[in-house]
Structure 1
Amino acid sequence: MPLTLAFLLAGCGGGSEASNETAPANQQQADASPVEGKITLSPDQIASAGIQIARPTVGGGGTLELPATIEGDPQGTQVVSAAIGGRVVSLTRNLGQSVGRGDTLAVIESREAAQLKGEVEASRARLTLANSNLAREQRLFAQRVSPEQDLIAARTAAIEARIAYNQAQQQVSAAGGGGGGLNRLGIAAPVSGQVISRSVVLGQTVAADAELYRIANLSSVSLSLNLQPADAGRVKPGNLVTVTAAGRQATAKVSFVSPALDAQTRLVPVIATLDNRNMEWRVGEPVTASVQLTGSGGDGAISVPTTAVQTDEGKSVVFVRTKTGFQAVPVTLGDSSGASVIVRSGLKGTEQIATVNSFTLKAELGKSEAAED
Structure 2
Amino acid sequence: MKQARKALAMLPLAFAVLLAACGTANKEGDEAASAEKHAEGETGHADHGKIALTAEQIAAAGIEIGRPTIGGAGTIDLPATIEGDPQGMQVVSAAIGGRVVSLTRNLGQSVNRGATLAVIESREAAQIKGEVEASRARLALANANLAREERLFAQRVSPEQDVIAARTAATEARIAYRQAQQQVAAAGGGGGGLNRIGIAAPISGQIIARSVVLGQTVAADAELYRIANLSSVSLAFHLQPADAGRVRPGGHVLVTAPGRQASARISFVSPALDAQTRLVPVIATLDNRGGQWRVGETVTASVQLSDGGNASNAISVPLTAVQTVEGRTVVFVQTSDGFRAVPVTVGNASGNNVIVRSGLKGDERIATTNSFTLKAELGKGEAGHED
Partners in 2 of 1:54 and 1:168 — Cα distance? 74
Partners in 2 of 1:123 and 1:320 — Cα distance? 89
- After TM superposition, the score normalised by the length of structure 1 is 0.81
Partner SS for 1:260: coil
Partners in 2 of 1:255 and 1:362 — Cα distance? 44
Tell me the residue number matched to 2:359.
346
- Measure how far apart 1:235 and its partner are: 2.2
Aligned with 1:89 (options 85, 101, 104): 101
The alignment's C-alpha RMSD in Å is 3.0
Amino acid across the alignment from 2:359? G
Tell me the residue number matched to 1:219.
231
Amino acid across the alignment from 1:338? G
Percent identity between matched residues is 73
Amino acid across the alignment from 2:348? D
Aligned with 2:345 (options 332, 336, 349): 332
Amino acid across the alignment from 1:121? E
Any gaps of 5 or more consecutive residues in structure 2? 1-42
Tell me the residue number matched to 1:303.
316
The answer to whether the Cα contact below 8 Å between 2:318 and 2:354 also exists between their aligned partners in 1 is yes
The answer to whether the Cα contact below 8 Å between 2:49 and 2:378 also exists between their aligned partners in 1 is no
Aligned with 1:54 (options 48, 63, 67): 67
Partners in 1 of 2:72 and 2:276 — Cα distance? 35
Residues 226-263 of structure 1 show CA distances to partners (whole Å, capped at 9, x for unaligned) of 22222222222122111111121111111111111222
Tell me the residue number matched to 1:195.
207
Partners in 1 of 2:239 and 2:381 — Cα distance? 44
Does residue 111 (structure 1) correspond to residue 127 (structure 2)? The answer is: no
Partners in 1 of 2:315 and 2:281 — Cα distance? 28
Partners in 1 of 2:369 and 2:272 — Cα distance? 43
- Measure how far apart 1:269 and its partner are: 1.4
Does residue 167 (structure 1) correspond to residue 179 (structure 2)? The answer is: yes
Listed as ranges, the matches of 1:58-77 within 5 Å are 58-60=71-73, 62-77=74-89
- Measure how far apart 1:264 and its partner are: 2.5
Tell me the residue number matched to 2:276.
264
Partners in 2 of 1:134 and 1:321 — Cα distance? 101
Partners in 1 of 2:334 and 2:144 — Cα distance? 98
Partners in 2 of 1:308 and 1:251 — Cα distance? 29
- Taking a change above 3 Å as real, the CA distance of residues 135 and 362 of structure 1, as seen in their structure-2 partners, is same
Any gaps of 5 or more consecutive residues in structure 1? 1-11, 16-29
Partners in 2 of 1:208 and 1:159 — Cα distance? 32
Partner SS for 2:285: strand
- Measure how far apart 1:319 and its partner are: 3.8
Does residue 317 (structure 1) correspond to residue 330 (structure 2)? The answer is: yes
Residues 4-58 of structure 1 show CA distances to partners (whole Å, capped at 9, x for unaligned) of xxxxxxxx9744xxxxxxxxxxxxxx6xxxx53276989x999999965435324
- Measure how far apart 1:324 and its partner are: 7.8
- Measure how far apart 1:296 and its partner are: 4.7
- Measure how far apart 1:334 and its partner are: 2.6
State the number of aligned residues. 341
Tell me the residue number matched to 1:132.
144
| Greater C-alpha radius of gyration | 2
Residues 91-134 of structure 1 show CA distances to partners (whole Å, capped at 9, x for unaligned) of 11111111111111111000000111101111111111111112
More divergent stretch after superposition (201-210 vs 322-331): 322-331
Aligned with 1:273 (options 277, 285, 289): 285
Partners in 1 of 2:149 and 2:334 — Cα distance? 102
Partners in 1 of 2:191 and 2:340 — Cα distance? 81
